[in-house]
Amino acid sequence: MSDTGAWVADTNNRGRSTAARAAAWRFVLQRASAAVLAVCVVIHLATMIYAARHGLSSEAVVARMHVTPAWPAFYALFVVAAAIHAPLGIRTVVDEWLGLRGRVVDAALGFFALLLLGGGLYAVRALAG
């Protein structure tokens, strides 16, 4: 499939072009990261609702992140999923709305993904102590 979802002509490797394989991987990564994000958002919201209903302050919530490595690992997974998902979605919007494609767009969005990943993991590390 091409970036727009249409099947492309046979060019190599048993009928699938390099561009088609890349588009298929982007499709899979977008959907997989969305599934991970959905679970992470539900867990995060449930945790925040629990904290609010039990009168926990933000300081108390952050302090509990130090108790177990599970919370920093969970939020690191959340960050990784967001860093994968957001640039792929933006790539689709830029392609469909602005008609921009190519290596420059891919490089810019790769840089954006690294910024999200670095900033998010930095925040997780800072909160985890």
Q: How far apart, in whole angstroms, are the C-alpha atoms of residue 71 and residue 76?
A: 8
Instruction: Please give the pLDDT value at position 119.
Output: 98
8 A C-beta contact, residue 34 and residue 92 = no
8 A C-beta contact, residue 32 and residue 26 = no
Write out pLDDT tens, residues 58-76.
Answer: 899 888 888 889 999 999 9
Averaged pLDDT for residues 96-112: 92
Instruction: Please give the pLDDT value at position 66.
Output: 83
Q: How far apart, in whole angstroms, are the C-alpha atoms of residue 84 and residue 76?
A: 12
pLDDT surpasses 50 at 84: yes
Averaged pLDDT for residues 22-47: 96
Q: Could you tell me the end-to-end alpha-carbon distance of the chain, in angstroms, rounded to an integer?
A: 45
Averaged pLDDT for residues 96-116: 93
Q: How far apart, in whole angstroms, are the C-alpha atoms of residue 81 and residue 66?
A: 22
Fold of the 20-128 domain:
3 helical TM bundles of succinate and fumarate reductases (1.20.1300)
Q: Where are the domains of the chain?
A: 20-128
